[in-house]
Protein backbone atom coordinates (compact mmCIF):
# COMPACT_ATOMS: atom_id res chain seq x y z
CA UNK A 1 0.00 0.00 0.00
CA UNK A 2 1.72 3.14 -1.20
CA UNK A 3 1.82 6.26 0.93
CA UNK A 4 -0.03 8.75 -1.22
CA UNK A 5 -2.89 10.81 0.15
CA UNK A 6 -3.97 12.71 -2.95
CA UNK A 7 -4.70 11.93 -6.55
CA UNK A 8 -1.44 12.34 -8.45
CA UNK A 9 -1.10 14.08 -11.79
CA UNK A 10 -1.90 11.54 -14.48
CA UNK A 11 -1.35 11.34 -18.23
CA UNK A 12 -4.52 9.29 -18.58
CA UNK A 13 -7.60 11.36 -19.46
CA UNK A 14 -10.14 11.61 -16.64
CA UNK A 15 -13.52 9.89 -16.67
CA UNK A 16 -16.74 11.26 -15.18
CA UNK A 17 -18.32 9.46 -12.25
CA UNK A 18 -21.43 8.66 -14.29
CA UNK A 19 -19.44 6.70 -16.89
CA UNK A 20 -19.00 3.73 -14.57
CA UNK A 21 -21.86 4.08 -12.07
CA UNK A 22 -23.62 0.70 -11.81
CA UNK A 23 -26.69 -0.84 -10.17
CA UNK A 24 -26.88 -4.58 -9.63
CA UNK A 25 -30.33 -5.96 -8.71
CA UNK A 26 -31.14 -9.36 -7.26
CA UNK A 27 -34.20 -11.08 -5.76
CA UNK A 28 -33.33 -12.80 -2.49
CA UNK A 29 -34.21 -16.49 -2.19
CA UNK A 30 -34.34 -19.14 0.54
CA UNK A 31 -30.77 -20.15 -0.43
CA UNK A 32 -29.57 -16.75 0.83
CA UNK A 33 -30.74 -17.04 4.45
CA UNK A 34 -28.95 -17.41 7.78
CA UNK A 35 -30.20 -19.35 10.81
CA UNK A 36 -32.56 -16.50 11.72
CA UNK A 37 -34.27 -16.73 8.34
CA UNK A 38 -33.09 -13.30 7.17
CA UNK A 39 -30.58 -12.79 4.36
CA UNK A 40 -27.01 -13.66 5.31
CA UNK A 41 -24.64 -10.67 5.56
CA UNK A 42 -22.10 -12.55 3.47
CA UNK A 43 -24.58 -12.80 0.60
CA UNK A 44 -25.00 -9.02 0.68
CA UNK A 45 -21.22 -8.55 0.85
CA UNK A 46 -20.77 -10.70 -2.26
CA UNK A 47 -23.28 -8.52 -4.15
CA UNK A 48 -21.47 -5.41 -2.88
CA UNK A 49 -18.11 -6.78 -4.07
CA UNK A 50 -19.61 -7.73 -7.47
CA UNK A 51 -21.20 -4.31 -8.04
CA UNK A 52 -18.06 -2.48 -6.90
CA UNK A 53 -15.91 -4.77 -9.07
CA UNK A 54 -18.02 -4.00 -12.12
CA UNK A 55 -17.65 -0.25 -11.43
CA UNK A 56 -13.88 -0.55 -10.93
CA UNK A 57 -13.56 -2.63 -14.11
CA UNK A 58 -15.60 -0.12 -16.11
CA UNK A 59 -13.74 2.89 -14.74
CA UNK A 60 -10.27 1.42 -15.22
CA UNK A 61 -11.08 -0.31 -18.53
CA UNK A 62 -9.88 -3.74 -17.44
CA UNK A 63 -9.51 -6.13 -14.53
CA UNK A 64 -9.49 -4.82 -10.98
CA UNK A 65 -9.16 -6.70 -7.68
CA UNK A 66 -10.59 -5.93 -4.25
CA UNK A 67 -7.80 -4.60 -2.02
CA UNK A 68 -10.00 -3.81 0.98
CA UNK A 69 -13.58 -3.44 2.12
CA UNK A 70 -14.34 -1.21 5.08
CA UNK A 71 -17.20 0.38 6.96
CA UNK A 72 -19.62 -2.32 5.74
CA UNK A 73 -22.81 -1.36 7.57
CA UNK A 74 -25.96 -3.47 7.78
CA UNK A 75 -28.75 -1.04 8.67
CA UNK A 76 -31.90 -3.20 8.34
CA UNK A 77 -32.51 -6.93 7.79
CA UNK A 78 -33.12 -8.12 4.22
CA UNK A 79 -35.78 -10.82 3.74
CA UNK A 80 -36.51 -13.58 1.26
CA UNK A 81 -38.40 -12.14 -1.72
CA UNK A 82 -36.94 -8.63 -1.33
CA UNK A 83 -35.61 -7.06 -4.52
CA UNK A 84 -32.17 -5.75 -3.56
CA UNK A 85 -30.48 -2.97 -5.54
CA UNK A 86 -26.75 -2.47 -5.05
CA UNK A 87 -25.68 0.98 -6.30
CA UNK A 88 -21.98 1.66 -6.74
CA UNK A 89 -19.80 4.48 -8.01
CA UNK A 90 -16.14 5.49 -7.99
CA UNK A 91 -15.71 8.05 -5.22
CA UNK A 92 -11.98 8.69 -5.57
CA UNK A 93 -8.99 7.56 -7.57
CA UNK A 94 -5.32 7.31 -6.68
CA UNK A 95 -2.54 6.21 -9.02
CA UNK A 96 -3.59 2.58 -9.37
CA UNK A 97 -6.45 2.31 -6.87
CA UNK A 98 -10.06 3.46 -6.71
CA UNK A 99 -12.40 3.87 -3.77
CA UNK A 100 -15.87 2.61 -4.68
CA UNK A 101 -18.84 3.66 -2.55
CA UNK A 102 -21.79 1.29 -2.38
CA UNK A 103 -25.37 1.72 -1.15
CA UNK A 104 -27.67 -1.27 -0.71
CA UNK A 105 -31.44 -0.72 -1.05
CA UNK A 106 -34.26 -3.22 -0.55
CA UNK A 107 -37.70 -3.17 -2.15
CA UNK A 108 -39.91 -5.21 0.16
CA UNK A 109 -41.82 -7.79 -1.85
CA UNK A 110 -44.92 -7.52 0.39
CA UNK A 111 -45.05 -3.73 0.98
CA UNK A 112 -45.67 -0.93 -1.51
CA UNK A 113 -43.09 1.37 0.08
CA UNK A 114 -40.13 3.09 -1.58
CA UNK A 115 -36.83 1.17 -1.58
CA UNK A 116 -35.23 1.34 1.88
CA UNK A 117 -31.50 1.72 2.42
CA UNK A 118 -30.33 -1.44 4.20
CA UNK A 119 -26.56 -1.16 3.93
CA UNK A 120 -23.47 0.68 2.73
CA UNK A 121 -19.77 0.04 2.25
CA UNK A 122 -16.53 1.48 0.92
CA UNK A 123 -14.17 -0.71 -1.06
CA UNK A 124 -10.73 -0.07 -2.50
CA UNK A 125 -9.98 -1.78 -5.80
CA UNK A 126 -6.60 -1.93 -7.50
CA UNK A 127 -6.55 -2.09 -11.29
CA UNK A 128 -4.23 -4.89 -12.37
CA UNK A 129 -2.46 -5.94 -15.56
CA UNK A 130 -2.21 -9.47 -16.97
CA UNK A 131 0.43 -10.35 -14.36
CA UNK A 132 -1.74 -9.13 -11.50
CA UNK A 133 0.45 -6.06 -10.98
CA UNK A 134 -1.17 -2.67 -10.26
CA UNK A 135 -1.64 -0.46 -13.33
CA UNK A 136 -2.54 3.26 -13.53
CA UNK A 137 -6.20 4.28 -13.59
CA UNK A 138 -7.89 7.33 -15.14
CA UNK A 139 -8.60 10.06 -12.58
CA UNK A 140 -12.30 10.24 -11.70
CA UNK A 141 -13.98 13.59 -12.42
CA UNK A 142 -16.76 14.34 -9.92
CA UNK A 143 -19.77 15.81 -11.73
CA UNK A 144 -22.11 16.97 -8.98
CA UNK A 145 -21.77 18.55 -5.54
CA UNK A 146 -22.62 15.14 -4.06
CA UNK A 147 -19.84 13.48 -6.10
CA UNK A 148 -17.46 16.21 -4.91
CA UNK A 149 -18.45 15.61 -1.26
CA UNK A 150 -17.93 11.87 -1.71
CA UNK A 151 -14.51 12.55 -3.26
CA UNK A 152 -13.45 14.66 -0.27
CA UNK A 153 -14.81 12.12 2.23
CA UNK A 154 -12.92 9.35 0.41
CA UNK A 155 -9.70 11.37 0.78
CA UNK A 156 -10.29 11.48 4.55
CA UNK A 157 -10.81 7.70 4.66
CA UNK A 158 -7.66 7.21 2.58
CA UNK A 159 -5.62 9.33 5.02
CA UNK A 160 -7.03 7.36 7.96
CA UNK A 161 -6.29 3.97 6.32
CA UNK A 162 -2.69 4.98 5.68
CA UNK A 163 -2.24 6.50 9.15
CA UNK A 164 -3.70 3.40 10.86
CA UNK A 165 -1.48 1.11 8.80
CA UNK A 166 1.63 3.18 9.63
CA UNK A 167 0.74 3.23 13.35
CA UNK A 168 0.22 -0.55 13.48
CA UNK A 169 3.46 -1.26 11.59
CA UNK A 170 5.36 1.08 13.94
CA UNK A 171 3.86 -0.67 17.00
CA UNK A 172 4.82 -4.10 15.66
CA UNK A 173 8.37 -2.94 14.90
CA UNK A 174 8.70 -1.43 18.39
CA UNK A 175 7.44 -4.61 20.06
CA UNK A 176 9.70 -6.80 17.89
CA UNK A 177 12.70 -4.61 18.80
CA UNK A 178 11.82 -5.07 22.49
CA UNK A 179 11.76 -8.85 21.96
CA UNK A 180 7.99 -9.06 22.53
CA UNK A 181 5.58 -11.18 20.37
Q: Which residues bind ligand PKZ (CB under 6 A)?
A: 1-2, 4, 49-50, 53-54, 57-58, 61-62, 65-68, 94-97, 124, 126, 128, 132, 134, 161
Report the nearest approach of ligand PKZ to the CB of residue 107 (Å): 23
Cα–Cα distance between 74 and 8 in angstroms, integer? 33
Is residue 150 within 8 Å of 91, Cβ to Cβ? yes
Report the nearest approach of ligand PKZ to the CB of residue 175 (Å): 21
Which residue, 76 or 166, has its beta carbon nearer to ligand PKZ? 166
Which residue, 61 or 77, has its beta carbon nearer to ligand PKZ? 61
Report the nearest approach of ligand PKZ to the CB of residue 164 (Å): 10
Which residue, 39 or 123, has its beta carbon nearer to ligand PKZ? 123
Report the nearest approach of ligand PKZ to the CB of residue 64 (Å): 7
Q: Residue 131, SS3? A: coil
What are the E-state strand segments in 35-142?
Answer: 64-74, 83-93, 97-107, 116-127, 140-141
Cα–Cα distance between 38 and 77 in angstroms, integer? 6
Cα–Cα distance between 8 and 93 in angstroms, integer? 9
Residue 35 falls in which region: left (phi positive, over 0), alpha (psi -120 to 50) or beta: alpha
Strand partners, 107: 83
Which residue, 63 or 77, has its beta carbon nearer to ligand PKZ? 63
Report the nearest approach of ligand PKZ to the CB of residue 95 (Å): 4
CB atoms within 10 A of CB 35: 6
Which residue, 80 or 128, has its beta carbon nearer to ligand PKZ? 128
Amino acid sequence: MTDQATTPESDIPGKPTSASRTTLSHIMSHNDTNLLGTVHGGVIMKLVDDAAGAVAGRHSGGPAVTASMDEMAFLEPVRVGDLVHVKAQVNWTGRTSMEVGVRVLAERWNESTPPQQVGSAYLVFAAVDADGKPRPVPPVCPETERDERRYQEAQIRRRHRLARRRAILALRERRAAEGLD
